[in-house]
A = this chain, B = another copy of it.
Amino acid sequence: MLKVGVIGCGYWGPNLIRNFSQLSSTVVKRVSDLDQARLKRMAELYPGIETTTDYRTIIDDPDVDAVAIATPVHTHHGIALDALNGGKHVLVEKPIAASIEEAEELVRLAGERRLKLMVGHTFLFTSAVRKMKEIIDSGELGEIYYINSQRLNLGLFQQDINVVWDLAPHDISIILYLLGQMPRCVTAVGASHINPAVEDIAILTMEFSDNLIAFVQNSWLDPDKVRKMTVVGSRKMMVYDDVQPTEKIRIYDKRVEKPKYYDTFAEFPYSYKYGDILIPKINGAEPLHAQVCHFVDCILNDVEPITSGKNGLDVVKVLDAAQRSLDRGNNKIRLR
């Protein structure tokens, strides 16, 4: 039986506690939060759990095998570092850290200590994203031309990070997973309307090799909740609409056909294929359940997590480039 500690019982922490509690292979031994009221609530819901306002109590407990960290982004690095140094496996919420340097240090330390470091890119544990990956890898869509992702909503403004650091980790982690490669360049444009120091709308452009391009649009200021990703390939197109309760993916047998031979572009004979649409059945299991199961599996069987620290670092590299582009007048930033 794996003993787990959960650090942070705000918005996301309780979901981690619930999922770890429901597994037969894990037990949540300790939880921490700076807010006594949250701890009291957790103790009511889970009578056996020990609570503390000092997360070090969890890390100092030799009985605890792993910790899950659901605290504000700027604290991820410090807490995860302590946990790894304390010999705990670590599951940390996205983004893994607030800078490339911080993320790199965590990855290095986990490697040295031979501990699992996993980041909570939850969407990679949804059936829909797995299905998309399967479809793309099968070649059904042909060559991928571009991906267009929108994640818009009204609300849930964050205090310490802008909309890019808050929402884009979802889009970026999905796109990197689907494409299996890093972008060469990133450009970002944004604006701040409510809190002058914090962008509340933004568009990222990620340029990959072979003319493949991805747009990511994020907003905290939209009347509609939108979570839509379009993947356009040379043979077929695919739309992932996460707001739909069941029909999340559509595969369109549509394309523009390139002719084999032509003299001048002025005579370019475009031809269009408009075919059937397929909506594959998607399993509706809770992704966070799959995520915590995977974390436990990786620990027990010594496997590298799909959303490893390295993967978390890749997402931070893109976020860092986007932030530099925002800070430098929307210049195109080449990834190192």
Q: Measuring CB to CB, which residues of chain A are less than 8 angstroms from any residue of chain B?
A: 47, 145-146, 148, 154-155, 157, 159-160, 187, 189, 191-195, 197-198, 201, 203, 205, 207, 211, 213, 215, 217, 219-224, 230, 232, 234, 237-239, 245, 247, 250, 252-254, 256, 258, 265-266, 268, 270, 272, 274-281, 329-332
CB atoms of B223 and A268 under 8 A apart: no
B residues less than 8 Å from A195 (CB atoms):
265, 268
CB atoms of B275 and A277 under 8 A apart: no
**Given contacts A47-B47, A279-B279, A194 and B230 within 8 Å (CB-CB):** no
B residues less than 8 Å from A157 (CB atoms):
256, 268, 270
- Can you report 17 residue pairs joining A to B where beta carbons are below 8 Å apart? A148-B217, A148-B219, A155-B270, A155-B272, A187-B189, A187-B330, A191-B213, A193-B234, A197-B265, A203-B205, A221-B232, A223-B232, A224-B230, A247-B277, A276-B279, A277-B279, A278-B279
Interface SS majority for chain A: strand
B residues less than 8 Å from A245 (CB atoms):
245
CB atoms of A258 and B194 under 8 A apart: yes
Cα A253 to Cα B207 in complex, Å, equals 37
B residues less than 8 Å from A213 (CB atoms):
189, 191, 201
